[in-house]
Structure 1
Amino acid sequence: MIVQIKGNVKFPITLDPSVWIFDDRKIRLEDAFANKTSENVESEETDAKKMAEMFEKDVQSGVIPPGKQPVKRIDKEKVLSESYVMPLKPFLKSAEINEGAKSARLIADDEEIIISIEQLMDSLARFSDSGKPLKDDGPIHIYFGDGSNREQPFKGIKQIIIE
């Protein structure tokens, strides 16, 4: 099943969630809404500073950073046992939402939901349950990035119409 992004966009696009299982941008559902404590944020900032310093040192000493990273091997057992979400932002950027757009209409089997463009940009699309595509109430479920609708995501989304 596919999902269309159309309406007030420069480039209407069609998404195929069935291939996202192979995409490196996917996020485990459990990790998507993990709360970051201030301690974790500080730790990440410190790590980033250390890496920046190491990079500067390498550049000054003439070490060339690696180009292409080796292709990751997919752990088939892990992929087939986890549930995943995909950030929608990269796809929305590719569609190039026009400046006048204010909202997005999510079209499901039996309902239409209207959300803001900001909410849509931060949203995650669940496409997998235990490594399998969402068949009965798919192709995707939409979760807000803050997890506020985690218990009741928008299910059965087949089109996203930018208005």
Structure 2
Amino acid sequence: MNDIIILKGKVSYPITLDPSVWIFDDRKVERQTLKNQNDESDSKELTARQWSREISEGNVSPPTLKSERKYERERILTGSFAIHLSHFLKNAEPLSEACELAVITQKGEVIVPLTEAYSYLLAFSKDGKPLKDDGPVHLLKSDGTTEATHVTEFQVR
């Protein structure tokens, strides 16, 4: 399986994407937070629990630099991550006549209006491992639901 994905078509700059290096990208987001961000009741409940904890236990002092590095390393080794497709679309600079994004997969095409495509994400890691079996990336909606797997290419049309 080829892990390199091309973003081409009606763009000023065709882009070659390599999902294997995105784990080091600061723009990555945890897939778990996508589900929590879109569920407002979970967000309110989480805030209420944090507030209650701080009242009963007191505010926790910030972790030291050493513990932060350890936590970050552990998070990378066990986390599931995605990155916003908008970063790459903006860099490719779609031409004014472009109106849709064709997501080419091993099983066919998924057509997304270009204006909506900016809100999509690309999942590239699950439980600390690259998506080898059905990857290299999955196309996700903004709420974290999977729209397409086995993505091989993006064409701006």
> 1:2: Cα distance to partner?
1.1
Match of 2:98 in 1: 101
Correspondence 1:79 to 2:73: no
Higher helix share: 2
* Structure 2, unaligned runs of 5 or more: 48-67
SS in structure 2 at match of 1:79: helix
CA contact (8 A) 1:5 1:160 kept: yes
Match of 1:117 in 2: 114
How is 1:1-163 mapped onto 2 (pairs within 5 angstroms)?
1-34=3-36, 35=38, 37=40, 73=69, 75-147=72-144, 150=145, 152-163=146-157
For residues 4 and 160 of structure 1, the distance between their equivalents in structure 2, rounded to whole angstroms, comes to: 6
Question: Counterpart of 1:94 in structure 2: which amino acid?
Answer: N
In the alignment of these two chains, the number of paired residues is 130
SS in structure 2 at match of 1:112: strand
Question: Counterpart of 1:153 in structure 2: which amino acid?
Answer: E
SS in structure 2 at match of 1:20: helix
What TM-score does the superposition give when structure 1 sets the normalisation length? 0.73
For residues 7 and 139 of structure 2, the distance between their equivalents in structure 1, rounded to whole angstroms, comes to: 13
For residues 133 and 36 of structure 1, the distance between their equivalents in structure 2, rounded to whole angstroms, comes to: 27
Cα-Cα RMSD = 2.0
Structure 1 runs (4+) greater than 4 angstroms displaced:
none
> 1:33: Cα distance to partner?
2.7
* Structure 1, unaligned runs of 5 or more: 44-71
Question: Counterpart of 1:159 in structure 2: which amino acid?
Answer: E
For residues 147 and 129 of structure 2, the distance between their equivalents in structure 1, rounded to whole angstroms, comes to: 18
Question: Counterpart of 1:23 in structure 2: which amino acid?
Answer: D
